[in-house]
Structure 1
Amino acid sequence: MPDKKLFLLTTALITIGIICSYTLSAYTVILFEYNDFHFVGRELTVAIISILLMWGLAQLDPDVWLHRLGLWLFFGGIVLMLVMPFLPASLVSEVGGAKRWIKLFGFSLAPVEYFKIGFVYFLAWSFSRKLGHHGNMGVMEEFKRFFPYAAIFVLVMFLIAFLQNDLGQVVVLALTLAFMLFFAGSSFRFFMTLIGGSVSFFLFFILTSEHRINRILSWWATAQSTVLAFFPESIAKHLRIDNGEEAYQIGHSLNAIHNGGVFGTGLGGGTFKLGFLSEVHTDFVLAGIAEEFGFIGVFAVVFLFIMLLHRLFKIANRSHNDTAYLFSLGVGLLITFAFMVNAYGISGLTPIKGISVPFLSYGGSTMMASAIGIGMVLMLSKKIEYKSGDKK
């Protein structure tokens, strides 16, 4: 039987996402003169499809379907991202000069969301075949072994960071790749070398893009007072920006979180969603939850995510097949890093990256792709053999 707890936890998060798409989209509905149920209707449709798809995948034989589906998502995602810049405007939605969504039957499809699941499967499948324990290998030998994956990731960075102008997704994929590589058997020394190299690459991407530099400065103008309080004044005065433009979105997000307090303003009672936070039901959904449901609501959401990740990592730990182990782990890492990048961004700890919260943020592609990833893990969970006395 598929892991029922994992299925129920995912369904619970999807249900919360449906509620958020209704209560947090009020201003956008009024502004664009949509029907009151415009967003919740679309989200509910995708949610039902996602839940049915997740459970349907769970019934399939992983020995037959996991490999096919995983590679189809990987190569299909690459092809779609390659052709998107050349598709006509009638088929591709363009925002800020970047083409990230394909219009399909009234919905917008984001290929990168599905590609991420395929990318994790490709790494799990390839790592289980090519990598093993590092033994006495030096860093250079490990890097030679890693070089083909580095070349693939450079292609991924080009497709996502340059063609789609979406560095946030690259950050999530880079962190997932690094940690999967470590759990696949690479040494801690090589892991830290890889993290250091990744940081250098991201600094290069930031420093060569004016809008990314401005975003960093805008974030720092808001966060500097808190951070520099821990530094001696002799150092802080050299790091302080006196006339930087404050990131108003982060400011309103923090105010919304503060306004929610412990118990929140109640369902539909939030005020910062009324034009202060633009489209709070998408990237700022956690701030909206914090205002309307307070600390208690945020705690409940975090608890559900922790329980979800616990099930994913438990399935990974019980898997006797290396591919199943790494894939289940990778799906958990994708969800973890997406949640953390979003949570840190809306709380002002890091710059905002435009990463959606899995299952909670409004958006069909994010929800459906995440559901596919969970469905594939549910497919694998049927093969798990629990030890006698071990709780399922």
Structure 2
Amino acid sequence: MQVDKWVFYACVALITIGIIFSLSLPVFTVLFFNYEPYHFFYRQLAVGVLGIFIMWGLSQLNPDKSLVLIGFGLFILCALAMGVMHALPSSMVTDAGGAKRWIRLPGFSLAPVEFFKIGFVYFLAWSFARKIDDSKKSLKEEFNLILPYLFLFLIVVYLIAVLQNDLGQVIVLALTLVMMALFAGTSLRLFGIGLFGAGMLATIAIVTSEHRILRIKSWWGTIQNIVLSILPENMANALRVADVPEPYQISHSLNAIKHGGFFGEGLGAGVFKLGFLSEVHTDFVLAGIAEEIGVLGIFGITSIIVFLLYRIFKISSRSENKVYHLFSLGIGLLISFSFLMNSYGITSITPIKGIAVPFLSYGGSSILALCVGIGMVLMISKKASSK
């Protein structure tokens, strides 16, 4: 059987676009911190090339022998790494907002959570394939069946949302878990309860954290005038929040997108990257790209991602092995939710959650982890039937 080369080509295209914009977008950061002019470009190029080789190398392996080793290896080792990171000295870890998220290695830093997501998806696929089927069950039986996974997810919440203060990754994993459970064979009733539970968990995480409350207020301050204008005056006055923090990042993001127009200002000609969008090469990369190559360019990028997801879900649907089916589905869901959460965040549809854009945002761990996940999907594509 042949590897699905279209998946590989789509990923290479996205990685290449990310490399190009790693030269254009971080110009202010390079000047402000006095980095070498090609600091970000060289690193993104090295990671991108390495990721491409990892994808192709993994695609040549036999999934019947290699998938379980890679999947469980990532799941167990990265969970242990996240558990011990908070106890490591500052010389061995890198902080982000007071949370330890990266392990320092010679020449680079590694974020275990990015690789853990791939391992977590594999564990769910492996376990769901053994525990859940399409047979009719009562709600109580289904709940008892899914209960161990809820306990496991609470541990994941502790490792990521509490120890690393990263709620965005938890939301992505929660949505992925719920959707994978539905496709594994759980009922729509349990699916609805799962979504409600994930919403409650997210609400608790938000109201118990002052900085997350400020983020929600900042987001609401951006959209409240539009939303409240269609409501009755007494209801609008009750929902209006005064003295909200200035949502300068979102404002600059929206202005950058507007400034780019349909065709963009031209590659390298964006101005909002010059100190207005402080995370323009990471969290706000789509806004920076939109300013330089316009709505037309963003449409092209979105088309590549949609095509990639179509090919991944096609591999999933054609996989007769339930583990392969669910794992491919889970990788597609991770990419889908990450892209949607970031694009919705930079346009103020939802609050910003600090989720990287798949293959485009600067950051070695995110790209390499996705390349590992795609490499595993390419392995599976060789076993997918041609029906």
Equivalent residue of 2:3, what SS?
Answer: coil
In the TM superposition, what is the alpha-carbon distance from 1:264 to its structure 2 partner?
Answer: 0.4
| 1:80 corresponds to | 81
Q: Which residue of 2 aligns with 1:157?
A: 157
| 2:95 aligned with 1:94 | yes
SS in 2 for 1:17: helix
C-alpha separation in 2, matches of 1:275 and 1:254: 15
Cα offset, 1:226, TM superposition:
2.1
- Give the TM-score, by structure 2 length: 0.98
- Measure how far apart 1:201 and its partner are: 1.3
Query: In the TM superposition, what is the alpha-carbon distance from 1:231 to its structure 2 partner?
Result: 2.0
| Count of aligned residue pairs for this structure pair | 386
The equivalent residue for 2:54 is 53
Separation in structure 2 between the aligned mates of residue 224 and residue 106 of structure 1, nearest angstrom: 45
Q: What stretches of structure 1 of length at least 5 have no aligned partner? A: 388-392
Cα pair 1:134 1:142 within 8 Å, conserved = no
Is the alpha carbon distance of 1:134 and 1:385 closer, same or farther for their aligned partners in structure 2, counting shifts above 3 Å? Answer: closer
Distance 2:19 2:143 in 1: 45
Task: Report the Cα distance in structure 2 between the residues aligned to 1:299 and 1:233, rounded to whole angstroms.
Answer: 38
CA contact (8 A) 1:92 1:99 kept: yes
Q: Give me the whole-angstrom Cα distance separating, in 2, the residues matched to 1:230 and 1:307.
A: 37
SS at match of 2:86: helix
In 2, Cα distance between equivalents of 1:251 and 1:132: 48
Of the structure 1 ranges 288-297 and 220-229, higher mean CA displacement relative to structure 2 is found in 220-229
- Structure 2 residue identity aligned to 1:291: E
Q: Would the aligned equivalents of 1:219 and 1:246 in 2 still touch at CA under 8 Å? A: no
Q: CA deviation at 1:108?
A: 1.1
Deviation at 1:200, TM superposition (A): 1.0
| Alignment partners' CA distance in 2, 1:142 and 1:227 | 39
Alignment of 1:220-239 (within 5 A): 220-239=220-239
Where structure 2 has 5 or more consecutive residues not aligned to the other structure, the ranges are none
Which digits, 9 at most, give the CA deviation of each residue in 1:323-370, with x for residues without a partner? 000000000000000001101110001111000001000000000000
Aligned pairs for 1:1-392 within 5 A: 1-135=2-136, 137-387=137-387
Partner-residue secondary structure (3-state), 2:104: strand
* Cα deviations by residue, 1:158-193 (Å, 9 ceiling, x for unpaired): 000000000000000000000000000000011001
Find the aligned partners of 1:227 and 1:266 in 2 and give their Cα distance.
Answer: 34
C-alpha deviations, 1:275-310, integer Å up to 9, x for none?
000030000000011100100011001000000000
Counterpart AA for 1:91: M
Over aligned residues, Cα RMSD in angstroms?
Answer: 0.8
Between stretches 160-169 and 194-203, larger displacement belongs to 194-203
Instruction: Using the TM superposition, name which of 217-226 and 251-260 deviates more.
Output: 217-226
State the distance in 2 between where 1:182 and 1:138 align: 15
Output the amino acid matched with 2:80.
Answer: V
Q: State the partner residue of 1:390.
A: none
Offset at 1:134?
Answer: 4.5
Aligned equivalents of 1:52, 1:30: Cα separation in 2: 32
CA distance in 2, matches of 1:112, 1:9: 24
The Cα of 1:202 is off from its aligned counterpart by 1.1
Between 324-333 and 231-240, report the one with greater CA deviation. 231-240
Distance 1:230 1:365 in 2: 43
Is contact 1:259-1:291 (8 Å) kept?
A: yes
What whole-Å deviation, never above 9, does each CA across 1:60-113 have from its counterpart, x for those lacking one?
010110000000000011000011011111110012110000111211100000
Aligned-residue offset at 1:230: 3.0
Report the alpha carbon displacement of residue 54 of structure 1 after superposing the two structures with TM: 0.4
